[in-house]
Amino acid sequence: MDLVLGDYVEGAPPHILQPENSSFVIMTEEEYENLDNAKLLKIFATQNIVTTGHSVGKAAWNEDTLSRLAHLDAVIDLQG
């Protein structure tokens, strides 16, 4: 966590106060949809795009939805 906090600018993550220096570009889904492919590729060459303003449907937490992530017998390493 210290490494993450070390990149903060004036107590905030860089994508908030210095978006031009961030590894993230944050935009609405509408803004994303209106970008042409050349602009998207230019952004993706150096940054990750995070879209906001769209809903995500609810999914039940059961064997079916869990098996979409990995086979139910798979060994998964969790790091936190």
pLDDT tens digits for range 18-45: 888 888 999 999 999 999 999 999 999 9
Tokens of 8: 């903060």
Query: Which pLDDT does position 80 carry in this prediction?
Result: 62
Per-residue pLDDT at 52 exceeds 80: yes
DSSP letters, 22-36, are SSEEEEEHHHHHTS-
Beta-strand runs (E) in 1-80: 24-28, 48-52
Query: Which pLDDT does position 35 carry in this prediction?
Result: 95
Domain ranges of the chain: 2-69
Is 26 within 8 Å of 50 (Cβ atoms)?
yes
